[in-house]
Chains A and B, each alone.
Chain A
Amino acid sequence: MDNQKQLYDIMDACLLAGKVMLQSGAETFRVEDTMVRMASALGAGETYSYVTPTVIMFSASGRGEATTRLIRISARTTDLKKVAMVNSVSRKISTGELNLSDAWIELKEIEAARLTYSLFYQVFAAAIASGCFTVMFKGSWMDFLPSVAAGGAGFFSAIYLHRFVPIKFFSEFLASAMIGLISFAFIKSGLGQELDKIIIGSVMPLVPGLLITNAVRDLMAGHLVSGISKGAEAFLTAFAIGSGIAVVLSLL
């Protein structure tokens, strides 16, 4: 009886670790790997985990019967710091530095923590990155500042609108429409040189680059369901951005 209770606790800790990692944008195979490692270090018997971008299934057997649990993941962001922190917790468990209850407390703290950079820093970073991308894609330095303005405004409105409209597609659509409008205004007023370069640089912070790459990588690693669902997400985002820009360009 006691054994069964302990098995449940181990599973809870593993599921929590997996949930935090997946919500923070870790790769699916890393989540599976971490959960299995943690469970075996904590003393569970045979364990299996199956992770897709939207669900975690985890099955473990102690001395008695096997149990399977499931967690649904609805929202995902990219928060690499949390991935690193959960990773170090699992590392400490494997070396025996942390026992089950300490690990549980630490994981709970990580889950509740708000570690993201402030909105200002994020928008600032997006703005600077947009300007840099314009130059990297062989745009002129003349277009640096217009891209900074358009990219910053686009990224800010994507985050801001997402709070009102929970559907990611629409916030991205409106944000890229905004980028199109601002870039067009810069060209019309004579402050910008090449419309295409400014737009491509400014949409880079919104573009699902990470998703596209991870999708192909998952497909190659044999995680077919994850690969296809990430690919679908990337396609939707690219479609939202492209149509947002196209609506503006066709109206003007």
Chain B
Amino acid sequence: MVYFSQLITSFVASAAFGVMFNAPKESLVKCGVSGMLGWMLYFILESNGYGTILATLAASFLIAVISQVMAKMYRTPIIIFSVAGIIPLVPGGLSYDAMRHFVEKDYMGTVTLAAKASMISGALAVGLVFSEVFNQIIWRSGKTHK
């Protein structure tokens, strides 16, 4: 039941972010799918105790791979699929929390939360970059073999 409601909400939230970022109408469902798959991987890993950072890394890698496949299939820039997908993974809640502690003069709490948030956004970016690098390696090696 928990998984089911997570499935639905992550799909809807990613597609809704597609609307906010003005993605083309025909790609809204694809945005939703890439966001949903990424979030489910994150949620499963996180709830089984693998830690947020590893879960974020894996999920952003998955989203980037899906987006690359979709970008190749539909001949559109990859950013359309990846942006809406990674939004749920972004430590927005954490960075908001950090700022709230900062404004409330709890500086130690701020540093802890900010460090966590920057680790997670680092993991997110590393996941994206990794999949790009993999993609290029596969593409290039395929080209030289032919």
Using CB atoms and an 8 Å cutoff, list the residues of chain A in contact with chain B. Answer: 25-27, 30, 78-84, 87-88, 91, 115-117, 121-122, 125-126, 128-129, 131-133, 135-137, 141, 155, 199-200, 203-205, 207-210, 212-213, 216-217, 220-221, 238-239, 241-243, 245-247, 249-250
Residues of B within 8 A of A247 (CB): 103
**Does residue B12 face the partner (Cβ distance < 8 Å to A)?**
yes
The answer to whether B122 and A84 touch across the interface, beta carbons within 8 angstroms, is: no
B70 within 8 A of A: no
B21 proximal to A (CB < 8 A) = yes
Q: Are B90 and A26 in contact (CB under 8 A)?
A: no
Neighbour of B99 across the interface among A25, A133, A241, CB < 8 A = A241
Contact B90 A132 (CB under 8 A): no
Q: How far is the CA of A91 from the CA of B90 in the complex (A)?
A: 31
Decide if A128 touches B12 in the complex (CB within 8 Å).
yes
CB neighbours of A212 from chain B (8 A): 90-91, 95, 121
Which residues of chain A are within 8 angstroms of B96 by Cβ–Cβ distance?
199-200, 203, 207, 238, 241-242, 245
Whether the Cβ atoms of A217 and B128 lie closer than 8 Å is: yes
Chain B residues 103-146 with CB under 8 Å of chain A are 103-104, 121-122, 124-126, 128-129
Contact in complex: A133, B23 (CB < 8 Å) = no
A25 to B17, CA, bound (A): 14
Let me know if B93 is at the binding interface, CB within 8 A.
yes
B93 pairs with A129, CB closer than 8 A = no
**Does B57 reach chain A (CB closer than 8 Å)?**
no
- A197's nearest neighbour on chain B, judged by CB, is B93
Interface size on B, residues (CB 8 A): 45
Find chain A residues with CB under 8 A from B79 CB.
26-27, 30, 80, 83
- Distance A117 CA – B20 CA, assembled complex (angstroms): 8
Q: How far is the CA of A243 from the CA of B83 in the complex (A)?
A: 26
Residue in chain B with minimal CB distance to A83: B77
User: A137 near B93 (CB under 8 angstroms)?
Assistant: yes
**Contact A78 to B22, CB < 8 A, known contacts A217-B129, A239-B99:** yes
- CB-based contact B88/A238 at 8 Å: no
Leading 8 A-B pairs by shortest Cβ distance:
A242-B99, A209-B90, A207-B92, A246-B103, A216-B125, A125-B19, A132-B9, A129-B16
Is B39 a contact of A117 with CB atoms below 8 Å?
A: no
| Known A136-B10, A213-B86: A220·B125 in contact at CB below 8 Å | yes
Asked if A213 and B90 make an inter-chain contact with CB atoms under 8 angstroms apart, the answer reads yes
| Contact flags B23-54 to A (C-beta < 8 A → 1, else 0) | 11000000000000001000000000000000
Instruction: Choose one: B6, B23, B98; the contact of A81 (CB below 8 Å).
Output: B23
**Among A126, A212, A221, residue most surrounded by chain B Cβ atoms (within 10 Å):** A212
Name the one of B23, B75, B88 contacting A80, with C-beta atoms under 8 angstroms.
B23
Complex partner residue of B20 from A30, A205, A238, A250, CB under 8 angstroms = A205
Q: How far is the CB of B43 from chain A (nearest CB, A)?
A: 8
Q: A129-B12, A136-B88, A213-B86 are in contact. Are A121 and B76 (CB under 8 A)?
A: no
Residues of A within 8 A of B90 (CB): 207, 209-210, 212-213
